[in-house]
Amino acid sequence: MKALVCESFGKPENLSLKEVTLPQIAANEVLISVKACGLNFPDTLIIQNLYQFRPELPFSPGGEVSGLIEAVGEQVKKFKVGDSVFTLCKWGGFAEKLIVDEAMVSPIISGMDFINAAATSYNYGTSFHALKDRGFLKKGETLLVLGAAGGVGLAAVELGKIMGAIVIAAASSDEKLEACRAKGADELINYEKEELKTKVKELTDGKGVDVVFDPVGGKYTNLAMRTLGWGGRYLVVGFANDEIPQIPLNIPLLKGASITGVFWSRFSKEEPERSKANLKELGRLYTEGKIKAHISKVYPLDDGAQALQDLMDRKVIGKAVVIPVTKEEAEIVPVSAIEKSSKQPLLFSSKEAVKAFIGKEIGVSNWVEVTQQMIDLFAEATADHQWIHIDTEKAKSSPFKGTIAHGYLTLSLIPKLMSQVYQAPFSAMGINYGTEKVRFVNPVPSGSQIRAKALLKHVSEVRNGGLKMIVDATIEIKGQEKPACFAEVITVLY
C-alpha cells in the first residue's frame, strides 16, 4: 500500500510517499480501508518529536481517520467487513490502509460522508468538552475565542452560539473572520490590526468576558487573560503559536478567575462515559444540521506534506483533509468534486455482508437536482405532455407555483440515487426490477433537490445464484418536511 512516511523527525518536507507492507492483523484488530484523514495541530508536532505521544520511526502521521472495514480479527465482536467507521488513532492515517484496535473504532453517523467523518470528532469533541465540562459556559455569557478560524476555534464559535453565548471571535485576518461570521460569531476582532484588550473592553462595556477559549498561546495569552471579567474562566486548549506563555498569577488573583487545562484525549480515557455522552450529543447536533466542519481544502495523499506545512503556516481555515489518492488520480476524479459531493457508498463485499444488513439503514444518497430539462426530456420520452410538467408560464398560476416532475420521473432516478447509497463489487451485475408498494406523498417542483434514504428490508436467494434485495426507499425533498414518495425497490445481484 502507499503511505506518507516519516523516517526522521523534522519538518513536513522530510516526509516521503512510499510503498509499505502491512503486518498481519491481530485477533482484536481491524483493517480499515482509509477514505479520508483529517489534519490536526498535533500532527505537526508528532513529526517533529515535540508531542507527548512519540511513535517509533518510521511511521505515518494522521490521527483522525474514516473508512471502511476491510478485515477483522477473530476476536472482534462489534464490527464486520463493510462497516463505515472512524477512529482517533494518534498516527497512521496518511496511508491507504490502517490497522487499529477494535476499541479505538466507532461507527460513522448515518448519513455522514467520509470526509466529514474525518473532520468532526477531534475539533468538536475538544471544543465541546472545553466549553461544557471545563468552562461551564452558560446561556447569556460572553465567550472570547482566540484562533477562531482554526479547526477547534471555529467549532468553539459554532458550539458557543448553540449554547446561547455571546461569541467574540478573534483571528489574524479579515478572511478568517468572515468564516467566523458564517459560523455565527456576534463580534469580530482582527488582532493583527486592533488591540485585543481595548477592543474587548469596548465590546463588553468594560465588563470583560466570562470565558476565554485559547488554542493559540504565545503573545496573545496575557492580553486575553486581562479581558476576563470577575469570576472568569480561562481555557488553555493548546499552543498553536509554538510558544508556551508565562502567565502573571496576579491577574487571575485580582479577577477571581480560574485557569483550566483542556486535554480531551486524556478526558476520554479517564472519563469514558462522559466522553461518550458528549459524542452522542454532537452526533445529534450534526444529524439536525446544527454543526458541520468548515473544510477549507482536500489534499491528495502525495500532497500530505504540503497540507501539514499549510497548517503550520496558518493557511488552513477550519479543517484540511487528506484522501488516499495521488495527484494523477485526483486529476481524473477532481478533489474539488469530492469536496462538493463526498458521500461514499456502502460497499458490500459478499452475499453474507448484504444479509448482515437486513433490517438496517444502509445509507443516504447525495442531493440530486431535478431540472426542467430533465422534466422536459421525460415528457418527450413518455409522450406525457401535461402542461403542469412542461408549460412553465401556465404552471405559475397553479397551486404549485411552477412546474412539477412526473412521479415516474422521480422513480426513474432511484437507480442513480441507490448507486450512491451502496455498491456490491462482488457481483458481476445487478438488475433493477423496479418498485412495488409505491406511495406518492408530495410533488417535486422543478429545480428542487431530492435524495434517497434506504433501509434494507429483505434479502433472499433466487435462481441462478442471484441475491434478491428489497430496499425501503424514502425520497426526500430538500427543505420540505414531507417526502416525495415511499417505494419498495427490488434489485437482483448476480
- In the three-class reduction of DSSP (H, G, I as helix; E, B as strand; rest coil), residue 168 is classed as strand
* pLDDT digits 0-9 by tens, 184-220: 999 999 998 999 999 999 999 999 999 999 999 998 9
Q: Which residues contact 246 (CB under 8 A, 6 or more apart)?
A: none
Hey, where are the domains in the chain? 2-108+294-340, 122-267, 346-493
Question: What does the angle CA 226 – CA 228 – CA 234 come to, to the nearest 5 degrees?
Answer: 100
Structure confidence at residue 334 (pLDDT): 42
pLDDT reading at 340 higher than 70:
no
- Rounding to the nearest 10 degrees, give the CA dihedral for residues 326, 332, 336, 340: -120
User: For 410-434, how does the pLDDT look when each residue is reduced to its tens digit (9 = 90+)?
Assistant: 999 999 898 888 888 778 888 887 7
Judged against a pLDDT cut of 80, whether residue 485 lies above it is answered with yes
| The C-alpha cell that represents 106 in the structure block | 466507532
Q: Between 174-182 and 151-162, two packed helices, what is the crossing angle to 10 degrees?
A: 40
Range 130-142 burial, b when 16+ CB lie within 10 A, else e:
bbebbbebeeebb
Residue 170 has pLDDT above 90, yes or no: yes
Sign of CA dihedral 352, 358, 361, 367: positive
**How does pLDDT run across 367-398, given as a tens digit for each residue?**
889 999 999 999 999 999 999 999 999 999 99
- Terminal-residue alpha carbon distance, the chain: 30
**High-pLDDT (> 90) share of the chain, %:** 73
Is domain 346-493 in CATH 3.10.129.10, yes or no?
A: yes
Does residue 403 contact residue 392 with C-beta atoms inside 8 Å? yes
C-alpha span between 338 and 320 (Å, rounded):
13
Closest CA to 89 of 56, 60, 64: 64
Do the beta carbons of residue 43 and residue 308 sit within 8 Å? yes
Which residues partner with 432 through β-bridges? Answer: 491
Q: At what angle do helices 151-162 and 114-128 cross, to 10 degrees?
A: 70
Task: Out of 3.40.50.720, 3.90.25.10, 3.40.50.1240, 3.40.50.300, select the CATH number for domain 122-267.
Answer: 3.40.50.720
Question: Where does 2-108+294-340 sit in CATH, by number?
Answer: 3.90.180.10
Residue 132, classed as helix, strand or coil, is helix
Contact predicate 274/128, CB 8 Å: no
Tell me the backbone φ, ψ of residue 198, rounded to 5 degrees.
-65, -45
Whether the bond between 399 and the residue before it is cis, its omega within 30 degrees of 0, is: no
Find, among 352, 157, 123, 381, the residue nearest to 237 by Cα: 123
What DSSP string describes 255-294? HT-EEEE--HHHHHHHSHHHHHHHHHHHHHHHHTTS----
pLDDT of residue 336: 41
DSSP labels for 70-108? EEE-TT--S--TT-EEEEE-SS--SBSEEEEEGGGEEEP
**Cα–Cα distance measured from residue 47 to residue 321, given in angstroms and rounded to the nearest whole number:** 17
